[in-house]
Chains A and B, each alone.
Chain A
Amino acid sequence: MAVARMAMACVLLSDLLIRLSFCREFYSDDGFCSRLVLLRAQTSYLLPSLHLANDLETYQSLLLIIQLCLAGALLLGYRTRTVSALSWLLLLSLHQRNPLLLNSGDTLMAALLFWGIFLPWGAVWSVDSKARSGEGHLDETVLSAATIGWSLQMACLYLFAALHKLHPYWLSEGSAIYYALNIGHHSTAWAVPLTDHPEALAVLTRVVWLMELCLGLAILLPTPRPRILAISTAAILHLTFGLFLEIGVFRYVPLVGLLALVPGRFFGADGRSQPRIHLGGPLAMALLSVCLLTCAVNLESLGKGRKVFLPDLVLRIAPVFSSLQYFGVFAGPGLEEDGWFTVQVQAQDGRDYDAWRGDRAWSAERPPLVSATYPDDRWRKYMMNLPTLPVDSPFRQGFAEWAARQWNRRHPENRAVLVRVWQARVETRLPGPSSSAEWSLIAEAKL
């Protein structure tokens, strides 16, 4: 678990550093999601966020730096419990500041960090354990409400990912991976050659599905040997995903989750000691009900947006524990849709420029590697969220206005007259070439 703590801290550190480098764009009043945009959207599901107190870039970076320090303290294991709790709170607050940046990796990260507060993950290899002068007890295994929560969380990830994928693309047709790799938004350069072999991919598709289903069950096995096998298979699976798909933190977060489940024997413990069991008390009861909540919400999510059985109140509480999860990415419908974004700027000199790709003359051509047009995966996530919002959404407008501001800043002598954000959509066909691009206007700013 100590390894998981350090890994979590590293993921947090890298994630926060990325966010810090885009602090102005993501979180400040000068970015595409200013506080006003967020508040105008009147999103009712928002939790309280400390990041809303002020909108200056200075303040936002200050908060991010505080979070970085906390992540550093977590890495070293300094006052582990307090630090875990604080970083969890601030992470939730940060998530709420710009919810459109988030993918299921972020939800998973917050959920795992929440369980981490109650785990004894600072017990070994930490500043705290040094200070307590006792050497860490390596061979100690723990069974508590938090460990149950953590394991169930990981099991939910695989199990529900498999259940969501009960779709012809994954089962009868076996075309899912082919489609997924064809989505330019997140396929890496490695993925391109693979798309030439749809038959092999069809086999792979079913293998992946079967693996996810089995993993969801195998992770919960009590015996060490099969569990190590399951964990290493899962790790290989994630590393492969990460190689072919740009999916941001989702590449690394499940690995953190898996690390905590590695049996102590792997690190040289003799593994014979009986686990310490802490399951009594009101806290454990509360935590166990959070476990139930997570499972219930995941079940509800199988309804694909329709209300199934949970009342609104539960869905309103769930985000507090990051239990509002949906692991149905790449599940099926919509998988065949490929495309890219461009920002068309009509400048004062009467010509059209593409502000999204280095301000060259605008063209309707597909970029060679779409995923490389995004500065970071969070940008992709944000932009892919825009078309799903209502036409008059402030988020769309905010993005166009931001693009215009940026252009004017870069070209004070040739200011923008009209800025249009376009989405080009292409349908991948199997077999055969893709359809021609269909353009839709995401947002427009007239100046």
Chain B
Amino acid sequence: MTRILDLDLRSLALFRICLGALLLVDLLDRARDLTEFYSDVGVLPRFLLTSQYWNDVWWSLHLSSGFPVEVSLLFVVHIAFAAALVLGWQTRWSTFAAYLLTLSLHNRNPFVLDSADRLLLILLFWGNFLPWGEVWSLDSRRGQRLSPSYRINCLGGTGYLLQVCQVYLMAAVWKVHPVWITERTALFRTYELHQFTKPLGYWLAGFPEFLKWLTLATFVLEWIAPVLLLFSGNSRGRLVAIISLAILHIGIGLTMDLELFPLVSIVSLVGCLPSLVWERRASGTESGDLSTSLAWTTRAITGALASLAILGTLAWNLVMLSGSGVPPSGRLAQSWPIRLFSALRLVQFWDLFSPVPRVVDSRYFLEARLQDGRRIDLRREGRDFSFQQSSPAYLDFKNQHERNYLNSLEWSAGRAISMRYLRRQAVKWEEAHPDQKVILVRLWSLRTESSLLPGRQPTHEVEVAWAVSPKSDWRGPFPVSDPHARAVVLRAPLPESY
């Protein structure tokens, strides 16, 4: 039993380096939107976030200040810890700090998050229980390795391995649906989401029969790979699983613009690489036991925490399965395990494009009427407003975070946050062009429904929110009830998929 859960220290070290590098990339990307997404100047000031959209167990150091300067200080510290993680400097503390700061950052603006961010954070969490600074790190230059063998077996490693398997198993379970098995149109539907699809995806969509086979292959792979990953032990079988999953992710990355997601997914597999990658012939088969060299208190505490986290994750995924994907509510949601789970942000739901990929694609337009009567599009550098665009839709967005934020505005964030977004865009335009006054801003979503949807509507535009310039100034105090603002009207409700 213990043998199949063996991991290799060198794979874990590579995993640490890759994850740290990804965190760095993500942070540098986020730093571009620092003022907009994480300060009080931007679209989501602290009072707005904490008034309605806050879970009271969340913890965020990024709430301590609303000024861009102080937020950027936090970013600098965060980047420093990510770099320390890559270099393996004080690995244990760096991992913990990186996890805490990432948790804090995610809580500061939950509307920009997607599965990639959640997976990254959960991997960082497991990193706290992994001996991933044992080799290829600044720490390892100083002291003796704790274990003579590269192969190790520890509770943290088990938790990490189980976590990775659960991602795919859960995704596979959710895919038990005609569109993946009999009809096999899932990938075709996915490539109809113009927000994400890259040219290669459009090209593939021209071969629907081929896509049917790919759909089935994905489905089968997502069932087989985690099983192989878990039960073939530290051997060739695991390598096969990792390579085939990596190919899947590379395929996704080439055809769809999901930015970090394929990368995080591939990195999540790196730590499972079997020892045979690193050595021609297996040197020693006995696995080392790290725990004997640690103080018993440390062992007891980390062991208890890791086991709790393992059991919790398993239980959570089972609860999600039994509730068909609806997070627990009512008394269960108020129970302390669930509260602790959301405080640590281990809450997970791996419904990647399943059971049915989204059937509505949205393209966003931000109309502004100027005082001189012109209609311009604030999301397109102030060009004349028009729903006809020649550029591919996936290039509309500055980055994945902006895409997620706009999607949240349309589907989940609600009125106050949309209002604030509109006001902020108007202010930005007026600041850049002091002579042009904005009198009205309107966020449009141009919706395209999947061509396979029975009774589909033609492409149509939906007004997400609009705001008229208040008498004083766009910058004026933010009213709790804005007399000029109308509730977010969703004229066309989200069509039922089946």
A residues in contact (CB < 8 Å) with B: 29, 35-36, 39-40, 42, 46-56, 59, 93
Contact = CB atoms under 8 A, between A and B. Distances in A.
Interface residues of B, number: 19
Interface stretch (B7-15, B51-59, B435-443, B451-459): B51-59
A52 B63 contact: yes
B64 A49 contact: yes
A55 B70 contact: no
Contacts of B497: none
The 5 closest A-B pairs by CB, nearest first: A39-B47, A48-B65, A48-B64, A54-B59, A52-B63
B61 interface: yes
Contacts of B47: 36, 39-40, 42
Interface string B30-57: 0000000000100001110011000011
B244 interface: no
Given A53-B104, A56-B57, 16 more contacts: A36-B47, A39-B47, A39-B66, A42-B477, A46-B65, A49-B64, A50-B61, A51-B64, A52-B46, A52-B63, A53-B61, A53-B64, A54-B57, A54-B60, A59-B59, A93-B64
Nearest to B47: A39
A54 B50 contact: no
27 contacts: A29-B56, A35-B50, A35-B63, A36-B50, A36-B51, A40-B47, A40-B51, A42-B40, A42-B47, A46-B65, A46-B66, A47-B65, A48-B65, A48-B70, A49-B64, A49-B65, A50-B61, A52-B46, A52-B64, A53-B63, A53-B104, A54-B56, A54-B58, A54-B60, A55-B50, A56-B56, A93-B64
Interface in B433-482: 477
Contacts of B64: 48-53, 93
Interface in B304-334: none
Contacts of A55: 50, 56
A123 B57 CA distance: 43
A59 B57 CA distance: 9
Contacts of A52: 46, 63-64
Interface in B98-155: 104
Nearest to B63: A52
Contacts of B51: 36, 40
B466 to A, nearest CB: 25
A407 B40 CA distance: 35
B70 A53 contact: no
Nearest to A93: B64
A40 to B, nearest CB: 5
A195 to B, nearest CB: 44
A53 B477 CA distance: 24
Nearest to A97: B64
Nearest to B104: A53
B461 to A, nearest CB: 35
Nearest to A59: B59
A36 B50 CA distance: 6
Contacts of B46: 39, 52
Nearest to B50: A36
Interface in B60-77: 60-61, 63-66, 70
B187 to A, nearest CB: 43
With most chain B CB atoms within 10 A of its CB, the pick from A39, A42, A46, A51 is: A39
Contacts of B50: 35-36, 39, 55
A54 B64 CA distance: 9
B46 to A, nearest CB: 5
Nearest to A316: B67
A359 B111 CA distance: 45
Interface of B: 40, 45-47, 50-51, 56-61, 63-66, 70, 104, 477
B491 to A, nearest CB: 32
Contacts of A39: 45-47, 50, 66
A50 B59 CA distance: 10
B487 to A, nearest CB: 21
With most chain A CB atoms within 10 A of its CB, the pick from B57, B58, B64 is: B64
Nearest to B62: A53
Contacts of B60: 53-54
With most chain B CB atoms within 10 A of its CB, the pick from A50, A51, A52 is: A52
Contacts of B63: 35, 52-53
Contacts of A46: 65-66
B433 to A, nearest CB: 26
B75 to A, nearest CB: 13
A316 to B, nearest CB: 10
Nearest to B70: A48
A49 B70 CA distance: 11
B108 to A, nearest CB: 10
A24 B440 CA distance: 44
Contacts of B59: 53-54, 59
A47 B67 CA distance: 9
A53 B65 CA distance: 10
A49 B56 CA distance: 17
With most chain A CB atoms within 10 A of its CB, the pick from B40, B47, B57 is: B47
B437 to A, nearest CB: 24
A163 to B, nearest CB: 34
Nearest to A55: B56
A315 to B, nearest CB: 15
A252 to B, nearest CB: 29
A400 to B, nearest CB: 16
A35 B59 CA distance: 13
Nearest to B69: A48
Contacts of A49: 64-65
Contacts of A36: 47, 50-51
Nearest to A49: B64
A52 B49 CA distance: 13
With most chain B CB atoms within 10 A of its CB, the pick from A47, A51, A53, A93 is: A53
A23 to B, nearest CB: 16
A50 B100 CA distance: 14
Contacts of B70: 48
A40 B52 CA distance: 13
A253 B51 CA distance: 37
B43 to A, nearest CB: 15
A197 B70 CA distance: 55
With most chain B CB atoms within 10 A of its CB, the pick from A49, A51, A54 is: A54
Contacts of B65: 46-49
Nearest to A96: B64
A39 B58 CA distance: 17
Contacts of B40: 42
A48 B69 CA distance: 11
Contacts of B66: 39, 46
A99 to B, nearest CB: 14
A309 B63 CA distance: 33
A300 to B, nearest CB: 23
A52 to B, nearest CB: 5
A41 to B, nearest CB: 9
A164 B160 CA distance: 66
A39 B478 CA distance: 12
A42 B65 CA distance: 11
Contacts of A40: 47, 51
Contacts of B57: 54, 56
Contacts of A93: 64
A35 B45 CA distance: 13
A52 B71 CA distance: 14
Contacts of B58: 54
B434 to A, nearest CB: 22
Contacts of A29: 56
A90 to B, nearest CB: 12
Nearest to B56: A56
Contacts of B45: 39
